[in-house]
Chains A and B, each alone.
Chain A
Amino acid sequence: MSTTTVAHHDEHADHPTGIMRWLTTTNHKDIGTMYLTFSLIMFLVGGCMILGIRAELFKPGLQLMNPDFFNQLIGVHALIMIFAALMPAATGFANWMIPLQIGAPDMALPRLNNWGFWLLPPSAILLTLPFTLALFGIGDGALATGWTFYPPLSVQGGIGVDFAIFAVHLLGISSVLGSINIIVTLFNMRAPGMTLMKMPLFAWGWLITAFLLIATIPVLAGAVTMLLTDRHFGTHFFDAAGGGDPIMFQHLFWFFGHPEVYILLLPVWGFIPQILQTFSRKPVYGYKAQVYSFWAIGALAVVVWAHHFFTAGLPVPALLYFMYSTMAISLPLAVLFFCWIKTMWKGSMSFETPMLFTVGWIILFGIGGLTGLVLADVAADAQYHNSYFVVAHFHYTLFAGGIMGIMAGVYYWLPKMTGHMYNEKLGKTHFWLTAISFNMTFIPQFFLGLAGMPRRIPDYALQFAEFNMISSISAFVLGLSQLLFVYIIITCIRGGKKATDQVWEGAEGLEWTLSSPPPYHSFAEQPVIK
């Protein structure tokens, strides 16, 4: 892949300045920056919530909060981390990098793009407002059902549930708009000569993600709307007394909820090979195999949902089907792992911060995947369901596999986006602090789960005290380490060593042919790919 022309007209901004620039912008880089900033802020907000929970769990007994508030923190933490931190981060990268990687001047539908972003802050406010309202005696706080909204609890819950339902509606519209935009961009805006099978893997990961999003988010929206009518308009979708079935909600929810896991991870799987290629100074191994694995995982994602409620009383044939189909996902995933490792194999590797995060990511995400196989086993799941084992498992996939992957991407592209190198020493320190404290937080939770500690409970039996104490202390180290991350990003935006156009010695792809930072309008003349 090579480029013949690189457009360089760095005209000075025919855009408004100040706040109006950000409110009205349709520029993909500006919108990408807003998504990433929003994501970082919400990551800290969601982090503070979970530190409240870890503080409560530091010792057995109830010290800091009543159980109701505890439940609210847990549910809102999950919703914020998933919908307001991880998903916007991936969308932010998509906005920034997809046009640069495929040689497009901008996203295909720029106005839609602006709208997609500006739906996010109101929905974050909707999610967290009930906390504030409760301080003034209005309502009884945010939703306390956990992020899964299971009825009958969510039908009986207070106004927090309604706020969360409307927040999910807004978030859903935002992601659907973002996804449509990305699909159209990838189909219509590629540079001449860039066929689908020449697209960078990041673009491929996002293409599958976007299709999963527009196919499953509406199902979630439908399910929570039914919940809303059950709560206020006398319907009985999920009310057994009226002929409905609460288990049906679980089917609807997880029909969205399981693909959601891959929605969060596919963009990361997309750029991880690019980072590996850069720092191993070798081409990506098994490009086609990875693309086909993306397809396979995307297809399997929508037919395995019931493994999230094996214990709800499904018949044996259904249990067996969902067990086998879930385990089948590990096959394409193993192909990906193999390709990642083979890309590094015998490469001339160097370990700058993005590479450290990526290699750590492969190991930790691998642990997340393997513990998932344990939970996919129907017989074993009967013991581990709703225990801390599950909590540890999905934090290995979503914190390590999701957020640490995103961090790798941040360090990888930050010099390109800002034009400055970040402080490498601090970056490495951030990696080691994060990786060690993350493991120290969640390894004890595997043991707690095996010993039978249930999740979502503010108090626990005495025999769980030591592991919880280790987990809580490490969680605070993990949380405070992220302040270093914020510091590194801010100092990098404000100055630092000038980044070259290529930034990394082994970096390949269209985005590295542009200046660092790229001009406000790039690829006005599309490059031709041979």
Chain B
Amino acid sequence: MVCSFHVYTMEIKANDNDTSPDQQRKLANKKLGFKLLWIVAGSIAFSIALVPLYNVLCTLTGLNGKTKTTASEISNTKVDESRWVTVQFTSNVMPGLGWNFHPKQSSIRLHPGQIQTVLFEAKNITSQVVAGQAVPSVSPGVASIYFKKIECFCFVRQELQPGETKLMPLRFFVSPDLPSDVSEMTLSYAFFSADKQ
């Protein structure tokens, strides 16, 4: 099999030499056409590679406001009492989730490094057991990597009984490395339905 293929390609090569310039050009055109397909393949690969690249870039830089989805360690961070930071809280309930959800306080002021606990209240207004997943986002995006959560209801799926109201805590601190031009940030939670449809 291998041998016959070898002979076959030899034949093509042999034929190449006798063919008219016209046919040679046709062959050259085909060759270049196939070469160009590599660019197409390359850019398909690029578009798929952009997904992980985008996520890595955003995790490293916090560009899209995503915060970590796991708890940060409480290192012995010093509280920087010379600075104040205001953190505002907002919330959204996405379509498909029958809950009321809002922060118990609209904003707090704290020093960088100081650990704080804030509460969010969620109520299931349907007559079924419903599960939801909160997705946080910090604005401005550059501040998101300095927003450290120690404990958050957003780390896991939350389940509410029919009519149940639940207070959901968030323990966090703002890293003292926060750039000096940021004095305010907004933490927004979007609660999505986590039930399998």
Contact = CB atoms under 8 A, between A and B. Distances in A.
Given A214-B43, A219-B47, A315-B142, A245 B64 contact: yes
Interface in B134-186: 135, 139-142
B133 A247 contact: no
B29 A218 contact: no
Nearest to B58: A245
A109 B39 contact: no
A4 to B, nearest CB: 18
A41 interface: no
Contacts of B28: 188
Interface string B65-77: 1100000000000
A180 B38 CA distance: 11
Contacts of A180: 33, 36-37, 40
A109 B36 CA distance: 13
A318 interface: yes
B94 A241 contact: yes
A245 B30 CA distance: 41
B50 interface: yes
A218 B43 contact: yes
A184 B194 contact: no
A314 B58 CA distance: 11
A218 B44 contact: yes
A248 interface: yes
A226 B43 contact: no
B47 A218 contact: yes
B194 to A, nearest CB: 7
A245 B47 contact: no
A250 B47 CA distance: 13
Nearest to B41: A218
29 contacts: A108-B29, A108-B32, A108-B33, A109-B33, A180-B40, A184-B32, A188-B29, A211-B39, A214-B36, A215-B39, A218-B41, A219-B44, A219-B50, A221-B47, A226-B51, A241-B135, A245-B55, A245-B58, A245-B64, A248-B51, A251-B50, A251-B54, A252-B50, A313-B65, A314-B63, A315-B63, A315-B141, A316-B140, A318-B63
A223 interface: yes
Contacts of B55: 245
A7 to B, nearest CB: 14
A19 B50 CA distance: 45
Contacts of A73: none
A223 B47 contact: yes
A367 interface: no
Contact of A241 (B54, B63, B194): B194
A183 interface: yes
A180 B66 CA distance: 41
B48 interface: yes
A526 B25 CA distance: 13
Nearest to B43: A218
B84 interface: no
A237 interface: yes
A277 interface: no
A252 B64 CA distance: 15
A129 B65 CA distance: 40
A122 interface: no
Contacts of A218: 40-41, 43-44, 46-47
B89 interface: no
Q: Please list the 3 inter-chain residue pairs (A to B) with the smallest Cβ-Cβ separation, ordered nearest first.
A: A222-B47, A241-B192, A219-B47
A188 B25 contact: yes
Contacts of B41: 218
Contacts of B194: 241
A214 B40 contact: yes
A240 B139 contact: no
Contact of A219 (B25, B43, B63, B140): B43
Contact of A252 (B36, B47, B135): B47
A297 B37 CA distance: 23
Contacts of A194: none
A426 to B, nearest CB: 42
A314 B48 CA distance: 22
Nearest to B61: A315
B190 interface: yes
A378 to B, nearest CB: 14
Contacts of B140: 315-316
Given A216-B43, A248-B51, A315-B140, A187 B63 contact: no
A222 B39 contact: no
Contacts of B29: 108-109, 184, 188-189
Interface in A172-194: 176, 180-181, 183-184, 187-189
Given A240-B192, A314-B141, 15 more contacts: A109-B29, A112-B33, A183-B32, A184-B33, A187-B32, A188-B25, A218-B40, A218-B43, A219-B44, A222-B48, A240-B190, A241-B192, A255-B50, A313-B64, A313-B65
B43 A215 contact: yes
A252 B49 CA distance: 11
B139 A221 contact: no
A50 to B, nearest CB: 31
A413 to B, nearest CB: 25
Contacts of B94: 241
A251 B49 CA distance: 13
A346 B63 CA distance: 53
Interface string A205-236: 00000010011111101110010000000000
A187 B29 CA distance: 9
A327 to B, nearest CB: 22
B195 to A, nearest CB: 11
B133 A241 contact: yes
A245 B51 CA distance: 10
A267 B14 CA distance: 41
